[in-house]
């Protein structure tokens, strides 16, 4: 009988994942990298060329809504060309196999929806939704490019992207739900995030302290790699389908 501890690490992680009844997943921009969407940090990251305080804060939007919208319009055009990759699809498969499953994402690109994931906790909102800064109405809009910048609401108010900017609170109650899932999870998967933006990043140590087996997938090391039970420095689109097979 072979000793299970001598199996390759990815096989051990696959077995741990297969045995879990309750799984939570935190994804970041890296899961969409293989779909052709730039990440924020690291090689080719958006924040190497743009300053978040000029484009992703409420102050930036008050100062120059058109500039902010031009940047979001450009991102919408890039994202509109992208399709889900094997990592997004593997999470759909995992969801159908688990009695308790929660997908928590920092991504606003909508690729988890396109892949067919069920309910998604979108901590940082959704680039395909717009919100009125006057009346608070919000609505979906998948046009890319938008025909007129900046867009307006039916009430005449200025519309903004339906995303969370630096300095803004997360959508009501969502972080509590994410924490609940992290606390309940037997396995917590951390995929494609640099895990430097809080409060989302805090879910990783929280899940670990709550007893979850933490499995990280990221070609680069992060501040949480050492704490993870398994840390795979590989592209998610290659490894994740193997872990859920």
Q: Which residues are catalytic?
A: 124
For ligand OAD, give the closer residue by CB, 70 or 152.
70
Q: Point out which residues bind ligand OAD (CB under 6 A).
A: 28-30, 33-34, 39-42, 45, 52, 56, 106, 124, 164, 166, 192-194, 197, 217-220, 222, 235-237
Start-to-end C-alpha separation, the chain: 23
For ligand OAD, give the closer residue by CB, 162 or 235.
235
CA-wise closest residue to 214 among 230, 191, 195, 197: 230
Mention every residue, 6+ apart, whose C-beta is less than 8 A from residue 115.
84, 88, 89, 91, 92
For ligand OAD, give the closer residue by CB, 209 or 233.
233
Q: How far is the CB of 99 from ligand OAD (least distance, A)?
A: 27
Tell me if 126 sits within 8 A of 162, measured CB to CB.
yes
Q: How far is the CB of 138 from ligand OAD (least distance, A)?
A: 17
Helix (H) or strand (E) holding 200: none
Q: Determine the residue with CB nearest ligand OAD.
A: 30
Mention every residue, 6+ apart, whose C-beta is less than 8 A from residue 43.
none
Q: How far is the CB of 245 from ligand OAD (least distance, A)?
A: 17
């Amino acid at each position: 009988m072979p000793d299970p501890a001598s199996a390759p690490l990815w096989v051990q992680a696959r077995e741990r994942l297969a045995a879990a009844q309750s799984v939570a997943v935190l994804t970041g921009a890296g899961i969409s990298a293989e779909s052709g969407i730039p990440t924020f940090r690291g090689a080719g990251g958006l924040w190497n060329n743009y300053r978040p305080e000029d484009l992703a804060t409420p102050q930036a939007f008050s100062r120059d809504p058109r500039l902010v919208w031009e940047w979001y319009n450009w991102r919408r055009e890039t994202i509109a060309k992208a399709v889900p990759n094997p990592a997004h699809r593997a999470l759909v498969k995992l969801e159908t196999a688990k009695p308790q499953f929660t997908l928590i994402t920092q991504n606003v690109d909508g690729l988890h929806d396109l892949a067919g994931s069920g309910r998604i906790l979108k901590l940082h909102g959704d680039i395909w939704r717009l919100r009125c800064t006057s009346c608070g109405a919000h609505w979906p809009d998948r046009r890319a490019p938008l025909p007129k910048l900046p867009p307006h609401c039916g009430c005449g108010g200025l519309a903004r992207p339906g995303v969370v900017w630096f300095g803004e609170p997360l959508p009501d109650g969502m972080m509590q739900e994410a924490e609940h899932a992290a606390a309940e999870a037997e396995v917590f998967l951390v995929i494609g995030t640099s895990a430097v933006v809080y409060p989302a990043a805090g879910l990783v140590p929280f899940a670990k302290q709550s007893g979850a087996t933490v499995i990280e997938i990221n070609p680069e090391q992060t501040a949480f790699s050492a704490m993870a039970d398994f840390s795979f420095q590989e592209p998610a689109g290659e490894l994740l389908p193997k872990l859920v097979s």
